[in-house]
Structure 1
Amino acid sequence: MLITDRDGLLYRLDENRNRHVIKGVPTVRKNDQDGLFEIQLHPDFEDNKWVYLSYSDLKIEGNDSLTTTVVSRFVLDNDQLKQKKDILIALPYSKKKVHFGGKMLFDNKNRLYVSFGDRGERDINPQDLYRMPGKIHRVNDDGSIPVDNPFVDQEGVKKSIFSYGHRNPQGLAFNPLTHDLWQHEHGPRGGDEINIIKPKKNYGWPVISYGINYNGTVFTKLLEKEGMEQPIHYWTPSIAPCGMTFVTTGLYKEWNNNLLVGSLRFGYLNRCVIENNKVIKEEVVLKGIGRLRNVAIGPDGYIYINVEKPGYIFRLIPLI
């Protein structure tokens, strides 16, 4: 098992649960919301040993410290990362220190989907197709642009963009029944969303929203607008969703094809029963376990969750 630590460390957990530090991880800025985010193995990892990391990168310009989200590919060789290749850099860099996104997911054609948050510049980035933040991007495994990307023929637009109008997406998963890409993102105060991501679609942030500013003021009166997608589900008050997976293993029969989402704010696992692309029932699981950062299905078919501070990983064993 490979585990990222926000402070810029990457660990390998062996079969005896001994922790080994992986060398060669790029230097990351680790203040505010930045740090080392996600790790993804290439679908052909057993042959090519490619691993992908998303992380915050720091650049100094004069007196300004600028950051952005970067996705890089490496070869993992005997607990050492080698042959670094940058796959995506969320240009432009920003003075802001929030909303990095950084979720990654491969499809069955070895194309990589990556989420970039709006970097706290909601009135600039999410609706601007010449900027990368506030979008879901899709690239080939070498960082090149798929020939069928939705904006590939549009002059000047960032060709890697798959969808736009996002705030801070921290969950990506493919629905096992429909094979659609599902995503969740943080709202401001209220208005956390689950969306089904379609190419070239605009998901509305910040023009439409079910949330308000953190101080209670209103930044938009619009809940919908022509040409902008509606979430299939939203949470008000916010649960601060983080991590996302569908249950695709037969070990949890009553949960088959359910959607699992972690809650940072309330510290629980949220189980969503889906019917016709709608959330028809929710159940709070493991209430009070702590800030749940990620949830995933392991190769052994078990559900694993990651809880912040002090940094626990739990395996969920179904009751027979």
Structure 2
Amino acid sequence: MRPTIPTATAGRSEGAMDNLSLMALAGGGYSDGSLTNEEALKIQEKLWRFLARRTELYTMGDSSSVPAETAGELLNSICFTLSLCLKESGSPASLLASADLEELFARGVRATEKQVERGKLLWQAACVSVPKIDNISLRDTLRGIGGFFKRYDHRFFAHQIPCDIDYQLCRAVPDELHGIEYLNEYLSRIIIENDFLRKFDERLVIRLLKSYCPDYKGLLINLYEPAAVNAAGLALTGGDVFSLDITDADRARLSALLAGLPESSARKALSDCAGRLYRAVDIGDAAAREYLTQTALGLWPRIAAALPSGKLDGIFLSIASDESNDI
């Protein structure tokens, strides 16, 4: 029988490990049985003692008692920082049971600092990569991320993200990432999406966005997805991917190509079309290729639902008429 992982209350504050529990810290090591009961209990006790020391540092020695919510945040930060140490060194979770947590935590702090420096470079690259397409949420999100690096407290609240991130990605960052890890992955995905959009004539992208959402500037939409979806559809039919325009005839061809296929065959067709697309637009980066492939594969549930009616116009859009030169 496995021991229950307790929550912390003022030393061990309730709910403290809701997001970054011992299981998350151990990378699943507890839940998959790679940690013994004895190791898990020992790690828990070491964490409580270490939390008390970190609390004294946080209060500058004034008190070892803080509100339960603060204790929970301090504990989550400890878990986040230790997890970075384990990831960077490739060490097993069991190391937490035998090693000095002070030393592991110091190594985790250094790993966090390196991630912060990487994040600054990613933010600069993301700002430079923005296509000449106005979107308030993208602009405001990147501006807000610039303030993250001034407010981020990597010593006591390393798991937090002290900025607003409103711009929606086509493929969201996994929920298990926190703090600077989350931010860096978010910025990496922004760069992938922006670089893809810049492969195309911005006037065509804007006309496509108008078909997708007339208020593409003001609403919380993703700019990448409509272009990626249409380009993938054109790659599947052998059309001109740079046109970004899916006609009724194109949709009929897509329906004929995919209707009746078993899911495995349909997913292979979508994966193959992503390969043709990233070669056509000259995407060499492996992460960007995988991002595009997963975007294409993610279309299948929507396509499968639409195929019985033959109506794919809600997925593959026709470009709006060029009524203005508004960019």
Q: TM-score with structure 2 length normalisation?
A: 0.25
The structure with the larger Rg is 2
Q: Which structure exhibits the higher relative contact order, with contacts defined as CA atoms closer than 8 Å and separated by 6 or more residues?
A: 2
Q: TM-score, normalised by structure 1?
A: 0.26
